[in-house]
Amino acid sequence: MNALSEQGCTACRKGAPPLSDEQIARYLDQLPDWQLIDIDGVKRLQKIYKFKNFAQALQFTDRVGAAAEQEGHHPAILTEWGQVTVSWWTHAIGGLHENDFIMAAKTDDLL
């Protein structure tokens, strides 16, 4: 269990500044295999999880969805045969917030 995963998400208000590159690098060091991606100028965290079949991928997707609902912070999830791609970012600020790293760690714990 990652120390980040023991934290809860905090309310993030529109207009709050996204994390700096320095802050992102420090958090990213705590999340093995997560990648920093940029889509249309918005930084996101992304990880692909591999499974033996679609049923296992779907079960994982359901667990991620339940955790997201519990914290009130929701990812983009792509469920395919044998894999699930999870992407975290904070829509309200158009970038990354501490909540995204907390939820990425919680996602890893769901495996």
The reported pTM is: 0.93
Taking only the tens place, the pLDDT of each residue in 34-76 is: 999 999 999 999 999 999 999 999 999 999 999 999 999 999 9
Q: Which two tokens stand for residue 102?
A: 């907390």
C-alpha 68/C-alpha 81 separation (Å) is: 22
Total tally of structural domains belonging to the chain = 1
Is residue 28 situated within a structural domain?
A: no
Taking only the tens place, the pLDDT of each residue in 75-102 is: 999 999 999 999 999 999 999 999 999 9
* Edge-to-edge strand ranges of the sheet holding 76-80: 35-39, 42-50, 83-88, 76-80
CATH number, domain at 96? 3.30.1360.20
Is residue 104 situated within a structural domain?
A: yes
The sign of the CA dihedral 43, 23, 102, 60 is positive
Taking only the tens place, the pLDDT of each residue in 3-45 is: 888 888 887 788 888 999 999 999 999 999 999 999 999 999 9
